[in-house]
Amino acid sequence: MAAADIRFKLNTGAEIPALGLGTWQSAPGEVARAVSHAIKVGYRHIDTALCYGNEHEVGQGIKEAIDAGIVKREELFVTTKLWCSYHARVEEGLEESLKNLGLDYLDLFLMHWPLAMNPKGNHPIFPKLADGSRDIDHSHSHVTTWKSMEKLVGNGKVRAIGVSNCSVPYLEALLAEATVIPAVNQIENHPSLPQQEIVDFCNQKGIHITAYSPLGSTGSPLFTAEPIVAVAEKRGVTPATVLLSWHIARGSSVLAKSVTPSRIEANRTDLIKLDAEDVATIKKYSDSLAATKSFTRYVFPPFGKDFGFPDKR
């Protein structure tokens, strides 16, 4: 089986395609074409979120592909996320996303961050306090949000629920009261931020990892990392191929974000199965960063301090 066609089984019994199209930070007016083209060339896993502001375009791209007879809805795996200002109104958040997407159901609905924002703040998505900081509702627990999400299971509108950006302490608190184990934890993940503690914990609990920002986010900074270049030269592929393939080798699905047709195609067709030596080379790099405590986090939200993120990336 080609690397791009690998699927991983979730704790629900459903399968998630190893490679997904990411849509975060894709420019307005480009997303629908990117989604439609991705499906045309074989992608079956599409990821978006309410706060990306592009669910409607993602839905347009999906509709175009379905209307063209390229794919049936049941052949797609569509993920979106409950935004922080909807933690106290989970059903409303779901209905808004379904309406935006033009879909009857989601394959996966994630809690975007384990933190609630003021639903009655000065902005529906990004409420702020007078000092410019995020208007966080510290009285609302992510566990409470999860219990509301659990009620969605079996309603015909959500096939699976999961979380995103959850560290081990947040997962432990959630699992202590959960009746439904998250199917997925979507996290920033790449050799410069392997987050092995989270990956190991999730593997033990039957929670699948999906990686975002696999190239190191904007500018693809990992393209020049020495071990990535070494593996790429050895295998005769690009650093992007190595970075995307690394996740599949460790049993994670990965989101490749692009709106460029040729790159969308290459991200799928060029995937390879890394061998043990390749994986060891990359692990040595990650281990060296761990030894010096010099991991690099590229996705640093304004409320990062609430998760214990360092002041500097």
* pLDDT per residue as tens digits for the range 182-198: 999 999 999 999 999 99
Q: How far apart are CA 117 and CA 128, in angstroms?
A: 9
pLDDT bracket for residue 28 (50, 70, 90): confident
Q: Residues marked as binding for substrate?
A: 112
Residues 6+ apart with CB under 8 A from 5: 17, 18, 42
Contact 64, 36 (CB under 8 A): yes
pLDDT value at residue 313: 37
pLDDT value at residue 308: 63
pTM score over 0.85 = yes
All structural domains of the chain with their residue ranges: 14-223+244-272
pLDDT value at residue 310: 54
Active-site positions read: 52
Q: Residues marked as binding?
A: 112
**Mean pLDDT of the region 238-243:** 96
Q: pLDDT tens digit string along 45-83?
A: 999 999 999 999 999 999 999 999 999 999 999 999 999
E-only strand ranges, 12-95: 15-17, 19-22, 45-47, 77-82
Mean pLDDT of the chain: 94
Q: What is the CATH number of domain 14-223+244-272?
A: 3.20.20.100
